[in-house]
Amino acid sequence: MYSDLYIKKQIKIPTWVFILVIFSSIFFMSRFFSGNSMPSKANQKNLREFRLVNIAATRAGVFWQTEDKETGWLILGESETNLTRVIADERDLAEKKGSYHYHYALVKDLQPNKNYFFKIVSDKGVYSKNGKAYQLKTTTEQRFSGTAKPAYGKIFLPNNQPAENVYVILTYVKSNFPLLSQTKASGEWLIPLNSIASIPQPDDKVKIEFLSDMDSKTTVEAVAKNLSPLPQTLVLGKDYTFLNMEEVLGVTTQSSVSVNPKTIDILYPKEDALIAGASPLLKGLALPNQDVSLELVADKKYYFKPHADKDGVWKTASDVKLPPGKATLILTAKDEEGKEVKIIRSFSIAKSGEQVLGVATGSASITPTSAPTVTIKPTAPLITVTPVPTLKSAGSNYLPFIISGSAMMVIGLGVMFIL
């Protein structure tokens, strides 16, 4: 009786309860700590565009376009089953990922002449090539002694502001190798050409695309001799052709008056040209050894009377400083029959007031800056992407250690209860 009243019975936990607690704890811990860097939602959309660019011995670039604005990054490895390296979009910050239509990731510190595998990841799913990882191969170590000048120029938005962070992709027609760059805050861009094994000859054709997340695109067709720099400041959304000297400042629009271009014409500036300089060069054609009358209308009217030389070329470069905005040039001259011909040309002065490239306005050219040497790989065709619902996480996996530690902690607590 005394023992029953004053000595408490030891409470024992049933074995099945102890086992249940252990497995429940392990399940909870695994769910809590196993955060996967891959989104679980499968992406049912296709990439609109995919290209391997700037492929070299120790680096490679991946450019892609999505249907909607979304985040994007790469997971990369030396085998398809071990994609542990994460490569961010070049425009992303360490703490924040942006949503874009166009994405570019540059992979550095690679080995020459080696295969690598990667997949494209976004907040909406994982892009792959028919369920398998994409593949790229770096080039062998090569040294080129070419002295080709870089392609460079400047591009503005339609509102006369510099076009910043626009992707510039140059494709050399003979080799079909793409090189990629981005415009600076000033709208300037530069792509080196001396790293290409087959350096473009002066009359070789190239294609340059300017791609912006504002759904604006500009395409330029030119020959290599007209790339350093492009003869005219570009306006995003318009297409240009610089294939020969007669077209060197030609935009898709034409003069507002139909005349014989071999007799009377305005060569500079072209119709709707955007000029990043306050004093544009005025140049054109007329009958040889004849005077022409020019009326320049901007903030006020300015008058010039240049004289055509023996080849019928006239030009004038005045000290007049035009304000930003629209301007109109009116040419009046006489044709072979003595009749008066009038040509009206509209153009714009950029608000920034910066100098233009080349001979488009007679201003000084920009000086190319140094750029990394790149060797590139042929453009890849449009790829249909098969969604991948799950994928091995990038980086080290700490889940086994967390689960083991949690289990040991629970077992210890259980032993304490039993004792």
**pLDDT tens digits in sequence order for the chain, 419 residues long:** 455 544 445 555 566 666 665 666 655 554 434 444 455 444 446 788 999 999 888 999 999 999 889 999 999 999 999 999 999 999 998 788 899 999 999 999 999 999 999 999 998 889 988 889 999 999 887 665 556 789 999 999 988 789 999 999 999 877 667 999 999 998 999 998 876 767 788 888 999 999 998 878 999 999 988 898 888 888 899 999 888 644 444 343 333 333 344 578 888 888 888 887 777 888 889 988 888 888 888 888 888 888 888 888 888 765 677 888 888 999 988 888 788 888 888 888 887 544 444 334 343 333 343 333 333 344 444 344 444 444 443 344 445 555 555 656 656 555 555 55
Delineate the domains of the chain, giving CATH numbers in brackets: 2-35+398-418 (no CATH), 49-137 (2.60.40.10), 265-349 (2.60.40.10)
What tokens were used for 131? 């369920």
Say how far apart CA 135 and CA 164 lie, in whole Å.
31
Peptide bond into 229 cis (omega under 30): yes
Say how far apart CA 285 and CA 251 lie, in whole Å.
18
Say how far apart CA 116 and CA 342 lie, in whole Å.
63
Q: Which of 126, 112, 207, 52 is nearest to 393 (CA)?
A: 126
